[in-house]
Structure 1
Amino acid sequence: MKQKIEAVIFDMDGVIIDSEAIWKRAEQEVFSSVGVELSPELCEFTEAMTTAAVTQFWYERFPWKEKSLAEVENKVIERVAGLIRQEGKAIDGVERFIRKIKQQGYKIGLATNSPALLIPVVLEKLGISDYFDAIASAEHEQEGKPSPAVYLSVIEKLGLTPDACVAIEDSPSGLMAARKAGMKTIAIVNDAHAKAEFGIADLIVNHYGELDLKTENY
């Protein structure tokens, strides 16, 4: 008999908030200020990393002297937080979907590679803080996604087993993390990505309006 899905665990960036451009802007401003020469190719390579890992990545290629890695990383995080407060917008349809699944009785979690400081900034900006039963940042784990650690932390906080949870992700590394944790997976894929990249997902949708957990056959 199949395990009933009892909880939905969301990634944050690109799944709840449209923040890709915000991160790119903040990283461009902060890293270039210490002498880093960012390239589109290398920036794409760093997209799935934690902020600490991204900072280390650029330092190894363009070592700076005036500031510590922690200072530069914190400047990026502070800039992202400021831009989210000013300009942050929800991924289309996510607020309605979250309200619907909460009314249907699902528990709701959040598992992100982003720093813990940004989680309340995002949830408060979008007005959805009260819907979440458990949150976790990979900042507090030994490794970020594709390690399953941050998902396992949220599952534990929810008091459930992995097979009772489904993850919603927008990146192959996030899907890998969720699958390693033993969860079912849903990929939200926008036009910029080829669906072939997301073949490991149990379900692929383009928009939250296409998604109805009550009718999905897991």
Structure 2
Amino acid sequence: MKEEIKAVIFDMDGVLIDSEPFWEIAEKKVFGSLGVSLTPELCSQTKFMTTIEVTKFWYGYYQWEGKSFQDVQNEVIECVKLLIKKEGKEIKGIKGLLKFIKTKGFKIGLATNAPYELIPVVLEKLNISDYFDFFTSAEFEKKGKPNPAVYLSVAKNLKINPKNCVVFEDSYSGLLSAKSAGMKTVAYRPKKENLIMKEKIEDFVIHSFSNLNSINRIFI
């Protein structure tokens, strides 16, 4: 890389923890109870939205009564929180990678579209809280990913220029968010499958966090 790396920023769902299935379970339970019919095709459109964006999305298809957006959003979050505490598992190799990054002296941040209150739940569940210098959620921004705001906020709080940050992401919207922020991007694709993208926006592709020798090339 031409720019010196000084900070590494991680997405959360699907990168630190295998929690993405929990969101589908929670949304089917909560929205289903309101009479919303969640189809696989529509669910694929909400996969990387913020929780409030998802709630508004489904309300557009079925305008339920009796519960506010906030009430519904809270129910989804609480369901996901319980699933994380009960069944949450780290992405294989992530703890070793975090330790590896710390030995290099880099700062570590976290930027997620998930609600802020879930961040400490995940970090505590995986016992990785001490590795992070700063974390935040897109819920504090006007727009979530793919808007770059959440990544720029992390860089600002880490006191690191965005061009000196590298981001680990598993989604197109996340990679676009980081790239729009002026950061280097690493696409995590555990199944070695190609994402359908309009353009190539990642600088590196990795399939496992366990191969530290391969990952080390990102920082050279």
TM superposition score normalised by structure 2: 0.95
The aligned length equals 218
Moved over 6 A (4+): none
Matched, 1:109 2:109: yes
Secondary structure of the residue aligned to 1:209 is coil
Q: 1:216 aligns with which of 193, 200, 218?
A: 218
**Superposed counterparts of 1:23-34, under 5 Å:** 23-34=23-34
Q: Equivalents in 2 of 1:216, 1:168: separation in Å?
A: 11
Secondary structure of the residue aligned to 2:210 is helix
Q: Equivalents in 1 of 2:177, 2:168: separation in Å?
A: 11
> Residue 199 of structure 1: CA displacement?
2.8
Structure 1: segments with no counterpart, 5+ residues: none
Code of the residue aligned with 1:146 in structure 2: it is P
Q: Equivalents in 1 of 2:212, 2:178: separation in Å?
A: 18
Answer whether contact 1:165 1:183 (CA < 8 A) is retained.
yes
User: Which range is displaced more, 28-37 or 196-205?
Assistant: 196-205
User: Which range is displaced more, 192-201 or 137-146?
Assistant: 192-201
User: Which range is displaced more, 107-116 or 97-106?
Assistant: 97-106
The aligned counterpart of 1:179 is: 179
> Residue 190 of structure 1: CA displacement?
2.6
Answer whether contact 2:5 2:219 (CA < 8 A) is retained.
no
RMSD: 1.6
TM superposition score normalised by structure 1: 0.95
**Superposed counterparts of 1:146-165, under 5 Å:** 146-165=146-165
Code of the residue aligned with 1:39 in structure 2: it is T
Q: Equivalents in 2 of 1:192, 1:38: separation in Å?
A: 28
Q: Equivalents in 2 of 1:185, 1:194: separation in Å?
A: 15
The aligned counterpart of 2:203 is: 202
Answer whether contact 1:205 1:211 (CA < 8 A) is retained.
no
> Residue 192 of structure 1: CA displacement?
7.6
User: Which range is displaced more, 207-216 or 98-107?
Assistant: 207-216
Q: Relative to 1, partners in 2 of residues 1:42 and 1:93: Cα closer, same or farther, differing over 3 Å?
A: same
Identity between Structure 1 and Structure 2 (%): 52
